[in-house]
A and B are shown apart, each in its own frame.
Chain A
Amino acid sequence: MTEQIFHDAPGEAGYRAKWWTSRVLIYGILILWAFICLFPIYWTITTSFKRAPDVMQGNMVPWLNFVPDWLGWRSLGLSPDTIGTESTVRAEFLKRFLNSTIISVSASTLAVVLGSLAAYGLSRFSYRFGFMRNSDISFFFLSQLILPPVVLALPFLVLYKSLALLDSRIGLILLYTLTVLPIVIWIMRDQFASIPTELEEAALVDGLSIWGAFLTIILPIALPGMVAAFILSLVLTWNEYFFAALLTSTNAVTLPVMVASQTGSQGISWWSMAALSFAAILPLIVIGVILERFIIKGMAAGALK
């Protein structure tokens, strides 16, 4: 064993102690907050595998103090032993799941297409629609963020009723597109503004039209931003409850409405509610874990301007 040559001066011992306390404090807070964030999700997963007495006794650790059972998933028709059999609950759940998927994906796609086009135009050309210049048009789009959904809800209810769009997927898709469009435009405007115009100038000199330059040159560069905007829209539209609760009744009901309608019924069966809630949040948890950097990129885009 070699002799240690360099020693801390006696005065530096306190420094090390301070460093260690700050480390412990930082990790302590981080772990505490991670626990706060993750525990409700853990609680929901485990509850979906519990029997009634386990719920009452508050047993938390599977295998250690309760035996996992497929109770909650069986009531949804999604447990291993019921997956092959007919199940009305499963059929309903799958229908709602499909509704949610179709509506949120279509609305996000539509919003990203419309929003990217508008954002590109606003970041490149100067417009004049009547009295409106570029900054006015931008403000017109972004000001939609302030509009609370409740203002549009009742007029839309009446309008959709006379348009026979009530309780239809199309109706919800159109409304959801409207609600996420300002966010998409906001993200994409920053995205396009950071791309130098020399790129298009070169493309135009080489004989591309302005749309050709946009589609073949600019779009691939802006793709990460578009993915970020798409994911963010997907999260918002998948979770949307207010419009869905007002404007759907049987056909176009989405998952959040289905979850909410179960809570109201008396004699809540904990395990099946837990299974249902978890099935409703699972897709977004997966997206959140895998595509986290896109979400962060999307939200950060607005912060720095």
Chain B
Amino acid sequence: MSSTEGDLLHVVTVDDISPGRRSFGRGIVWAAAGLVGVVVILQLLDQSGHLQIGWTSWQPTLYAFVVWAVALCWAQVLIRGEYGKRALFVMPAAIFVAAMVIFPLIFGLGIAFSDWNLASPDGRKFNGTDNLVQMWHDPFYWNALKNMVWYVLAILPEYAIAFGLALLLNAQIRARKFFRVAFLLPLMLSPVAVSWMIGKSMLEARFGPISRLAREVGWDNPAFFSSPEMARFMIMAMDAWTFIPFMMIMILAGLQAIPKELTEAARVDGAGPWRGFWEVTFPLMLPVSITAILIRIIFKLKLADIIINVTSGGPGGATDSVTSFIFREYRDRSNVGYGTLLAMVYLVIIVIAMTILMKLADRWMRPKF
């Protein structure tokens, strides 16, 4: 999360850009912008029935926008010469992200405050803060938020396991490559396949191998998804299974970057493995650990696939994450307006929580001495 910057390249260039070239550059940007404007107006007229062009979708507007974006990039070079060529590195990605995120977000804000059911013929109606009031009284949404807290807390044991595995992989062992590949594989599997392979098949109450094992151990009637706590635990376990390799690899990279001299010095000074770990390795790993945990939290907040496919939120919403809840809100009720509002509130909560977390992490990582 830190903002690293490499050595900047400083080059002095002589640009003599003729006024004609400059005004041509400005010209194409404005012409393209004009094109977008004209197309939008034509589309609006077409939509409202004042004109008969026969455009069935808004794609012409999209094309006009693409033309404008290309013109904007080209004009950078025309107007600013060498500096424009440099700007060209960042411009495509910036325009892409801005178009794909900022516009839908603003559009989404509009949807969030309206009553819009895609299944009903009425179309969209602005309804002010009705959705907010509905959300306030929606026990299932609060329940899903509460579940998210549990899911995020489950990262701590995941982190402990990942750290342990990374330490083992960093030890003097044979067949290191085999173990590394084996440990990495769960991360490669799609959550949907995992939810079938483990959630539906291996945890099947009658003849799944894990149920069999549970019966051997003495649990007479293994049911993994009937009690709320157990179901939530199973979801956490499956998610952990896929994502432990992720943290493990980040921590392993950190461990390998620790100079050998430090741990050796600790050993020479008489620190046993236990003290050596807690007083040398662990503090040195703190920055990497915090980065790994923060990224893991970000991924965890998107958790949905396994829940949708294994329990679809049940029993009684005990395993619902916010994402899976909104997914069903749309799937079952086509309720776009309310669903978007819930998502927006979630985003606000996430941004606030992550900002606080990152501030705390920043303070914590700062050297104390």
Contact = CB atoms under 8 A, between A and B. Distances in A.
A253 interface: no
B3 interface: yes
Contact of B253 (A178, A270, A303): A303
Contact of A154 (B9, B11, B196, B330): B330
A281 B288 contact: no
Interface residues of B, number: 105
Contact of A274 (B4, B201, B354): B201
Interface string B206-218: 1101001000000
B90 A34 contact: no
Given A57-B207, A299-B246, A235 B187 contact: yes
Interface string A151-162: 111111111001
Nearest to A292: B181
A148 B184 contact: no
B219 to A, nearest CB: 16
B262 to A, nearest CB: 16
Interface in A201-240: 201, 204, 209-211, 214, 235, 238-239
A6 interface: no
Interface in B277-297: 288, 291-292, 295
A210 B82 CA distance: 9
A123 B9 CA distance: 9
Contact of B89 (A121, A159, A292): A121
Given A37-B185, A241-B190, A300-B249, A154 B207 contact: no
A259 B180 CA distance: 28
Contacts of A274: 197, 201
Interface string A20-50: 0000001101100110111111011001000
B194 to A, nearest CB: 7
A68 to B, nearest CB: 18
Nearest to B5: A134
A151 B93 contact: no
Interface string B1-35: 11111111101000000000000000000000000
Contacts of B336: 154, 157-158
Interface stretch (B105-113, B127-135, B222-230): B105-113
A189 B1 CA distance: 12
Given A127-B90, A246-B327, A304-B253, A151 B188 contact: no
Contacts of B301: 146, 148
Given A43-B202, A154-B340, A37 B182 contact: yes
A299 B162 CA distance: 14
A40 B195 CA distance: 11
Interface stretch (B56-64, B151-159, B263-271, B360-368): B56-64
Contact of B189 (A140, A239, A255, A303): A239
A8 B88 CA distance: 70
A150 interface: yes
Interface centre among A120, A149, A156, A288 (most CB of B within 10 A): A288
A175 B173 contact: no
B193 A256 contact: yes
Contact of B354 (A137, A146, A280): A146
Contacts of A144: 97, 101
B167 to A, nearest CB: 9
A181 interface: yes
A252 interface: no
Contacts of B105: 151-152, 155
A120 B209 contact: no
A305 interface: yes
B302 interface: yes
B87 interface: yes
- Per DSSP, are chain A's interface residues mostly helix, strand or loop, or mixed? helix
B190 A281 contact: yes
A44 B200 CA distance: 11
A91 to B, nearest CB: 21
B339 A154 contact: yes
B191 interface: yes
B168 A204 contact: no
A177 interface: yes
B4 to A, nearest CB: 5
B249 A149 contact: no
Contacts of B319: none
A35 B276 CA distance: 30
Interface of A: 26-27, 29-30, 33-34, 36-41, 43-44, 47, 55-58, 60, 114-115, 117-118, 120-127, 129, 134-135, 137-142, 144-159, 162-165, 174-175, 177-178, 181, 185, 189-190, 192-197, 200-201, 204, 209-211, 214, 235, 238-239, 241-242, 245-246, 255-257, 259-260, 263, 268, 270, 273-274, 277, 280-281, 284-285, 287-289, 292, 295-296, 299-300, 302-305
Given A162-B58, A181-B96, A257-B192, 19 more contacts: A39-B209, A118-B90, A124-B89, A144-B101, A148-B301, A158-B111, A174-B100, A175-B100, A177-B96, A192-B6, A211-B85, A241-B192, A260-B309, A273-B201, A274-B197, A288-B181, A288-B185, A303-B250, A303-B253
Pairs of residues from A and B, 8 with the lowest C-beta to C-beta distance, nearest first: A121-B89, A193-B6, A300-B253, A164-B57, A239-B190, A118-B93, A155-B108, A303-B250
13 contacts: A33-B165, A36-B241, A124-B86, A137-B90, A148-B346, A151-B343, A162-B58, A201-B11, A204-B11, A241-B190, A245-B327, A288-B185, A300-B249
Interface of B: 1-9, 11, 56-59, 62, 82, 85-90, 92-94, 96-97, 100-101, 104-105, 107-108, 111, 164-165, 168-169, 171, 173, 177-198, 200-202, 206-207, 209, 212, 241, 245-246, 249-254, 257, 288, 291-292, 295, 298, 301-302, 304-305, 308-309, 322-323, 326-327, 330, 336, 339-340, 343-344, 346-347, 350-351, 354
